[in-house]
Amino acid sequence: MKTVAPAQWAGLGLVIALAVIPLLVRNNYQIFILILIAVDTILTVGLSLVMGYAGQVSLGHATFFGVGAYATALLSARFGWPPALALPAAAGLTALAGYLLGVPIFRLRGHYLAMATLGLNVIFILILKNEAEVTGGPSGFTDIPPLALGGLTFDSDVKMYYLVWAVTLGVLWLSLNVVNSRVGRALRAIHASEVAAEALGVDANAYKLKVFAMAAGFAGLAGGLYAQAIHFISPSSFDVLVSIELVTMAAVGGLASVWGSIFGAATVVLLAQFIRDRMGVLLAGASGEQEIIVFGLLLVVIMVFLPEGLTVGGLRVLRAWPITRRLRAARDQT
Amino acid sequence: MSDTLLQARQIYKAFGGVQAVTGVDLAIQRGEIFALIGPNGAGKTTTFNVISGTHALDQGEVIFDGHAIHGQAAHRIAALGLVRTFQNLQIFGTLTVLENVMVGRHMHTRTGFVTAALRWPGVRAEERETRARAQAYLKVVGLDGRADEPAGSLPFGQQRLLEIARALAAEPKLLMLDEPAAGLTRPEIDALNSLIRRIQAEGVTIVLVEHDMNLVMGLANRVAVLHYGRKLADGTPAEVQADERVIGAYLGVGWDAAPAYA
């Protein structure tokens, strides 16, 4: 009995919706928001592999986002590499950086691991701000050349939208394949009981390093795409608050859910826009900076009431709803 | 032809000021069922943990199947064919019953990050094969009907069986069972007894730590008794049961005859 799973229908629906959206939305700002959602989805997927599947906390994921963005910018603007080459090279470099930094970091566990990743992010921002000759310092790095592939230059938001979403879907596909494999099982086993996984021959440390490198590589890719989408980057786009935002996205989407990461990224990006636009109106004197308070609250509420995230947890709550239960009972009877 | 599969010489392990294992020697022969018994706190589980690499040992050497395994990481020891279960169950509760056993196949399968991500040719075939084999191991312990349930939802006794199936899936040369009967009902213990015999009949050497004396004395070919971290006696079940020091340690009589370690 070969049937198309609901997830496959959802995936197909998503691809069609993504393809059609730019035809309906002619406002560049909205297209740009959709690009941001895609970039954040790539970041969130990687983070959910590390946190949700392997069970290793990272509060410094924005570091790798920044490494990818600055590597792309430096390679293309300073060293004159074609951007189409700089982008994958930056992703590869970021994956390598993730692996190497992971070696000392994964000697730690739990809260210590969280603190170390947070510290990594803080140090990274200090370097970006202080090494001004290389990075442009606090004011950032401008004039990042647009990506060109063959005769096609990605110089408009709509072109960039299609590119970024195509890459995002590719990343989701790769992640789903990993999650539903021997590797994904090993990661979840490490999360559930590291000693038992080790006792069955799973090299837990090697798996942690590799999944961290993979997530870093994705983040590097997201960073490169981000740099090329907005042609300007500065340290504030990669600081600890961004890392916290990413954890919020992963938590909203469900820490161990690949598809949930789109939902998590979309929710947080849209919420952030809403807060920046309206906070001043709702609360006199409040600036956009206060968004982090809202995210903090959101994170706490989700962790307490829906620890599997809004998607998975929401579905569970919905299933338990009396009306849904009665509907299902009626359906099962027929 | 006595063929030693595992040889532990003068192993020591302390936790802080507590000397948990003091100079224990063990020799386990290929194909036998070897039981490690002793009163609570005698150092049985610690001996288990330092042999399997779950904890590092302080001193001593352990030779398994021709390899020195002391100081090695647990996953390397497992790869040599020494696989263990845990006294305080270590089921992967968030995975399904079948997936737990599929993790047991980890060492006998290859798919890595890159091949998995790209759905390399052969990945699907390997996954199908792993699933089929895991299903067969579930059948051995009679859990094949619950394959797709979350492992954490199984009742306690079945979780114990699942741990054994998972360990068997790793195709061990030496299977170490840490108190497999703890918390089981009488019928479950009887089923366990016959399961362990079947595993031995397949050629797997078994070491078990166990409190249930009926089970131990009925199953084991040889028994070692630990007391206050030292080996008190070893031999056949009959020899050990007749040993005065063992009787003293268990029944608390003849204190003057027992060595004064404490």
What is this model's ipTM? 0.93
**Chain B residue with minimum CA distance to A187:** B103
Q: Which tokens in the block code for residue A62?
A: 């924005």
**Which pLDDT value is given to residue B261?**
44
**Which pLDDT value is given to residue A286?**
59
> Distance between CA B228 and CA B34 in Å, rounded?
20
Q: Does A98 touch chain B (CB under 8 A)?
A: no
Q: Are B78 and B106 in contact (CB under 8 A)?
A: no
> Distance between CA A245 and CA A144 in Å, rounded?
25
Q: Are A54 and A111 in contact (CB under 8 A)?
A: no
> How big is the CA angle at A113 (ends A301 and A125), to the nearest 5 degrees?
85
> Distance between CA A209 and CA A55 in Å, rounded?
13
CB atoms within 10 A of CB A52: 28
Residues of B in contact with A211 (CB under 8 A): 113
Do B81 and B129 reside in the same domain of the chain?
no
> Distance between CA A96 and CA A319 in Å, rounded?
43
Taking an 8 Å cut-off on Cβ atoms, the answer to whether B130 and A186 are in contact is no
Q: Does B109 touch chain A (CB under 8 A)?
A: yes
**Which pLDDT value is given to residue B2?**
57
**Which pLDDT value is given to residue A285?**
62
Taking an 8 Å cut-off on Cβ atoms, the answer to whether B130 and A182 are in contact is yes
Do B67 and B100 reside in the same domain of the chain?
no
> Distance between CA A303 and CA A6 in Å, rounded?
27
Taking an 8 Å cut-off on Cβ atoms, the answer to whether A200 and B112 are in contact is no
Residues of A in contact with B106 (CB under 8 A): 182, 185-186, 200-202
DSSP annotation of B80: T
Distances from the Cα of A236 to the Cαs of A14, A126, A241, B23, in angstroms?
31, 11, 9, 59
- Decide if pLDDT at A130 tops 80: yes
Taking an 8 Å cut-off on Cβ atoms, the answer to whether B54 and A184 are in contact is no
> Tokens 């049961």 label which residue?
B241
Amino acid at B218: G
Q: Among candidates A142, A121, A123, A161, which has minimal Cα distance to A246? A: A121
Of the listed ranges A133-142, A162-171, A310-319, B48-57, the least confidently predicted one is: A310-319
**Which pLDDT value is given to residue B262?**
38
Distances from the Cα of A218 to the Cαs of A61, A98, A244, A254, B235, in angstroms?
11, 10, 17, 18, 59
Taking an 8 Å cut-off on Cβ atoms, the answer to whether B111 and A183 are in contact is yes
DSSP lists the bridge partners of residue B27 as B7
DSSP annotation of B96: B
**Which pLDDT value is given to residue B250?**
76
Q: What is the mean pLDDT of residues A295-318?
A: 78
Do B175 and B242 reside in the same domain of the chain?
yes
Q: Among candidates A239, A244, A257, A238, which has minimal Cα distance to A295? A: A244
> Distance between CA B96 and CA B148 in Å, rounded?
5
What is the tens place of the pLDDT at every residue in A203-227?
A: 999 999 999 999 999 999 999 999 9
Residues of B in contact with A195 (CB under 8 A): 54, 74, 86, 90
Q: Choose from B48, B50, B75 for mutation: most chain A CBs within 10 A.
A: B75
DSSP annotation of A94: H
A266 pLDDT band (50/70/90 cuts)?
A: very high
Low-confidence ranges of chain B (pLDDT < 50): 1, 254-262
In B142-203, the DSSP E strands lie at: 174-178
**Which pLDDT value is given to residue B251?**
67
Do B27 and B147 reside in the same domain of the chain?
no
**Which pLDDT value is given to residue A314?**
74
Number of domains in chain B: 2
> Distance between CA B31 and CA B49 in Å, rounded?
21
For chain B, what is the largest distance between any 2 Cα atoms, rounded to a whole number of angstroms? 70
Q: Are A87 and A224 in contact (CB under 8 A)?
A: yes
Taking an 8 Å cut-off on Cβ atoms, the answer to whether B113 and A211 are in contact is yes
Q: Among candidates B125, B126, B123, B148, which has minimal Cα distance to B135? A: B148
Q: Among candidates B223, B178, B229, B175, which has minimal Cα distance to B58? A: B229
A241 or B260, which is more confident = A241
**Which pLDDT value is given to residue B259?**
47
Residues 172-191 on A with a CB inside 8 Å of B are 174-175, 177-178, 181-186, 188-189, 191
Q: By residue range, what is the domain housing residue B114?
A: 92-153
Residues of A in contact with B170 (CB under 8 A): 200-201
What is the tens place of the pLDDT at every residue in A153-206?
A: 898 889 999 999 999 999 999 999 999 999 999 999 999 999 999 999 999 999
> Given strand B4-15, what is the order of strands in its sheet?
B18-29, B4-15, B59-64, B67-68
Q: Which tokens in the block code for residue A7?
A: 């997830």
Q: Which tokens in the block code for residue A128?
A: 């970006």
CATH topology of domain A6-333: ABC transporter involved in vitamin B12 uptake, BtuC (1.10.3470)
Residues of B in contact with A175 (CB under 8 A): 117
B261 found inside a domain: no
Do B195 and B86 reside in the same domain of the chain?
yes
DSSP lists the bridge partners of residue B208 as B35, B177
B166 found inside a domain: no
> Distance between CA A146 and CA A327 in Å, rounded?
53
Taking an 8 Å cut-off on Cβ atoms, the answer to whether B78 and A191 are in contact is no
> Distance between CA A243 and CA A239 in Å, rounded?
7
Question: What CATH code is carried by the domain that includes residue B47?
Answer: 3.40.50.300
Do B110 and B54 reside in the same domain of the chain?
no
**Which pLDDT value is given to residue A280?**
66
Do B231 and B104 reside in the same domain of the chain?
no
DSSP lists the bridge partners of residue B205 as B174
**Which pLDDT value is given to residue B258?**
43
**Which pLDDT value is given to residue B257?**
44
DSSP annotation of A145: P
Q: CB neighbours of A8 closer than 8 A, spacing ≥ 6?
A: none
Q: What is the mean pLDDT of residues A292-302?
A: 81
Q: Are A130 and A138 in contact (CB under 8 A)?
A: no
What is the tens place of the pLDDT at every residue in A19-35?
A: 999 989 878 899 999 99
CB atoms within 10 A of CB A33: 16
A326 pLDDT band (50/70/90 cuts)?
A: confident
Helix (H) or strand (E) holding B164: helix B156-169
How high does pLDDT run on average in chain A?
Answer: 90
DSSP A11-25: HHHHHHHHHHHHHH-
> Is B182 buried (19+), middle (13-18) or exposed (0-12) by CB count in 10 A?
middle
